[in-house]
């Protein structure tokens, strides 16, 4: 991983639809070496995919909820079943196993409180062994980025 690779990754984080010609120009390479580097970064797993970022508010999905979960179970089989269940919910955008007071943290995106209530009921009815759930509703999004902080 050299400065050209980092520049390529940084540019693609800003705009993955950047034409190869413009990308090569931005990082100071000719098109063929730039293309080879992009392909290598993809094959080595640095670039996992290329997506379009959608505006959740324009799509009527303006409510972000951070859901903290405590469980009574900590066995591997329960975790697998719980993870398989939670990852099936389209509303769950992010899902983490945590250290500290809470066992899991979910970021859920829905249209409104009623939609969250439907999600909540689906979650508790499809999962056994939950000890506590706490929901925090985001009032305002101050910063959101998908760009990772790459060393320069």
Look at residue 127 and tell me if it is in a domain.
yes
What is the 3-class SS of 113-141, one letter each residue?
HHHHHHHHHHHHHHCCCEEEEEEEECCCC
Task: Note whether residue 85 is domain-resident.
Answer: yes
Q: Per-residue pLDDT for 22 more than 80?
A: yes
Question: Within 13 A of 92's CA, how many CA atoms are on the CB side?
Answer: 19
Look at the chain and report how many structural domains it folds into. Answer: 2
pLDDT of residue 2: 94
Tell whether 14 and 68 lie within a shared domain. no
Q: Please indicate, yes or no, whether residues 72 and 131 belong to a single structural domain of this protein.
A: yes
Query: Within this chain, do residues 20 and 84 fall inside the same structural domain, yes or no?
Result: no
Cα separation, 20 vs 16, in Å, equals 10
What's the rounded Cα separation, in Å, for the pair 73 and 10? Answer: 41
Q: What is the pLDDT of residues 119-134, one digit of tens each?
A: 999 999 999 889 999 9
pLDDT given at position 152: 59
**What DSSP state is assigned to residue 96?**
E
pLDDT recorded at residue 151: 76
pTM, whole model, 2 decimals? 0.88
d(CA 90, CA 6): 32
Quick one: tokens of 121? 């009921």
How many Cβ atoms sit within 10 Å of the Cβ of residue 145?
8
Residue 26: pLDDT over 80? yes
Do 31 and 90 belong to one domain?
no
CB 2 within 8 A of CB 151: no
- CATH assignment at residue 18: 1.10.10.10
One domain, residues 25 and 72:
no
- CB hemisphere CA count around 62 (13 angstroms): 6
pLDDT for residue 41: 98
Count of other CB atoms within 10 angstroms of residue 38: 19
pLDDT in tens, 48-88: 999 999 999 999 999 999 999 999 988 999 999 999 999 99
Please give the pLDDT value at position 109. Answer: 98
Whether the Cβ atoms of residue 71 and residue 78 lie closer than 8 Å to each other: yes
Q: Which domain holds residue 117?
A: 63-137
Whether 49 is in a domain gets the answer no
Say yes or no: 7 and 36 in one domain.
Answer: yes
90 within a domain of the structure (yes/no)? yes
Q: Return the SS3 of 62.
A: coil
């Amino acid at each position: 991983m050299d400065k050209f690779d980092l520049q390529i990754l940084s540019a693609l984080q800003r705009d993955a639809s950047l034409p190869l010609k413009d990308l090569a120009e931005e990082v100071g390479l000719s098109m063929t070496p730039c293309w080879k580097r992009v392909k290598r970064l993809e094959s080595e797993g640095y670039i996992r995919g290329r997506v379009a970022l959608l505006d959740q508010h324009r799509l009527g999905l303006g409510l972000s909820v951070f859901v903290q979960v405590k469980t009574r179970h900590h066995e591997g089989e329960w975790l697998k079943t719980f993870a398989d269940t939670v990852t099936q919910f389209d509303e769950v955008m992010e899902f983490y196993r945590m250290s500290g007071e809470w066992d899991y943290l979910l970021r859920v995106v829905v249209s409104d409180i009623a939609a969250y209530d439907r999600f909540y009921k689906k979650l508790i009815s499809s999962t056994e062994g939950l000890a506590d759930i706490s929901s925090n509703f985001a009032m305002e999004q101050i910063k959101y980025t998908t760009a990772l902080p790459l060393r320069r």
